[in-house]
A and B are shown apart, each in its own frame.
Chain A
Amino acid sequence: MAKPKVAFYWCASCGGCEEAVVDLNEDLLKVADAVDIVLWPVALDFKKKDVEALRDGEIAVSFINGAVRLEEQEKMVKLLRGKSGLVVAFGSCAHMGGIPGLGNFWTRDTIFQRVYKEVPSVENPEGIVPQEKTGIGIGELTLPEFYDTVKTLDQTIPVDYYLPGCPPPPDLIMNAVNAILTGKLPEKGAVLAPEKALCDTCPRAERKPEKLSIKEIKRPYEVKLDPEKCFLEQGVICLGPATRSGCGETCIRANMPCRGCFGPVDGIVDQGAKGLSMIASILGLEGEDKMTEEDVKKLINGLVDPAGTFYRFSLPASLLTRRRME
């Protein structure tokens, strides 16, 4: 029997998701034995035309990481969608927009202005920015269009399953691969990770105080973090309560709070809004009645960059989608 064909593709991403596949270690050899990889730009030399030559639906599953930021990415994922039985959004960026999705606080023009003209390390006296077409005498060079708005994978093509995480951890990847190979898949649209929020598996849960209250918001660098205590108890914003579990609590074990890369649990429409209302619910609870307007302002101003904090991985997938530019 022919082995099932599998494709890996990357869009707007950092490469960490590719690392995550390599992090399967010896298991990667098992995967390579069980499947026939037909596209994997980071590791194997297949071209777009090789994908085009396949029949529709011939690829059993495409694992696509990264958000959709460029015209080329949109074309490739549409091509892969047609050729694939299943499409898995792999990692935070494909799932919810991820870090590249924070670009939705800006536009192409403002991003180009900053990156190619204003950044102190850039010397560009002629103010050259990337063009879709550039004549070079002997012909014309082309670049794909850079969109104003970053999209998630499922805002571009229908997605069957989501593997969350920045990047997804090896055990969840192997579970997903095994589920696909054995056909034991959950309902379409499912996130292939546990259902409960991160506090459920947090190693600090047992020592959590009965009643949480944040007196002063601290950023991790401003405080010597107790490796046993709940981050919220220490005044450090942790999105664990508003984030799906399954990551292996790697950040928490490294004494850093959860930043929300796994996205929300089922039933949450907007992870950032939930994170915000959750923090608002425990802000200055102790002695609330004695606080003056000034005290409240000071407490809230301790939260630097709320949009980036609560929507760090999910801006394109949120109700906000992007900042409105006047």
Chain B
Amino acid sequence: MTMRGQPIRVSELDTDFKREVIAREADCDITACFSCATCTAGCPIYEVYPQHDPRKIARMVNLGMRERALSSPYIWYCSDCWICEQRCPQNVKFSSVWDVLKDIAAKEGYPPPVSINEDMCSGCGICVASCPYAAIELRIQNGKRLAHLVTALCRGCGVCGAACPSAIISVNLFEDEQLFSQIEAPVA
């Protein structure tokens, strides 16, 4: 999201977007957000990926930057820890907001950044069993079973990436190497 310095054109905004988000999540009023950034300050994902900034995404929703918010890969980076939600002085339920954004994004053809390297798949089926959204299916190709991602169903939760014993499912750009470096840093 390299938008610093670029003008925001009112004519391009969808001012109904915030109402669309609120309508899907009844007990939270995202317009109460005044960008204090308490959410961002506590976000462990922001620590690693500053582009995943809850405050900015909330701002985009309120301003009506519909396409920008929905097409951003960073809405899928949330780890569902809910720290933002607990700390928000305005009671914005960020976890629900992310869910709504993901829902709309998936429906409108902005899939989560998840991919399976099918060339290396052994067809063990562990991912198929573990996916809570039934978004992975085994397809027979040249007589071999291969895991295939149905992007329309995928919610980017990451369970398959953790389960895949061949490490060929890349999820939300959180590669194993990056996670290992995060583990190693504090214990070094």
Q: Which residues of A contact B (CB under 8 A)?
A: 195-200, 205, 208-213, 240-242, 245, 264-265, 267-269, 274-275, 277-278, 280-282, 285
Contact = CB atoms under 8 A, between A and B. Distances in A.
Contact of A268 (B122, B126, B165): B165
A288 to B, nearest CB: 10
A196 B130 contact: no
Interface in B68-99: none
B9 interface: no
B24 interface: no
B145 A208 contact: yes
A277 B163 contact: yes
A4 B144 CA distance: 41
B101 to A, nearest CB: 27
Given A210-B125, A240-B124, A267-B166, 4 more contacts: A196-B120, A198-B122, A264-B165, A281-B126
A268 B167 contact: yes
**Chain A to chain B: the 4 pairs with minimum beta-carbon distance, closest first:** A241-B124, A242-B165, A281-B163, A197-B122
B159 interface: yes
Given A213-B129, A285-B129, A268 B162 contact: no
A210 B47 CA distance: 39
B159 A281 contact: yes
Interface residues of B, number: 23
A41 B103 CA distance: 66
A240 B125 CA distance: 11
B167 A267 contact: yes
Contacts of B128: 210-212
A199 B123 contact: yes
A199 B145 CA distance: 9
Contacts of B125: 199, 208-212, 241
Contact of B123 (A205, A268, A278, A282): A205
A274 B167 contact: yes
28 contacts: A196-B122, A198-B122, A199-B123, A199-B124, A199-B125, A205-B144, A210-B125, A211-B128, A212-B125, A212-B128, A240-B124, A241-B124, A241-B125, A241-B165, A242-B166, A268-B165, A268-B166, A268-B167, A274-B165, A274-B167, A277-B163, A278-B126, A281-B130, A281-B159, A281-B163, A282-B126, A282-B130, A285-B130
B129 A277 contact: no
B165 A278 contact: yes
A268 to B, nearest CB: 5
B138 interface: yes
A199 B122 contact: yes
A278 B124 CA distance: 10
A77 to B, nearest CB: 28
Nearest to A208: B125
A61 to B, nearest CB: 29
Interface string B162-178: 11111110000000100
Given A195-B120, A205-B145, A281-B159, A265 B166 contact: yes
Contacts of B162: 277, 281
Nearest to B134: A211
Interface string B150-188: 000000000100111111100000001000100000000
Nearest to B168: A267
B180 A265 contact: no
A4 B160 CA distance: 48
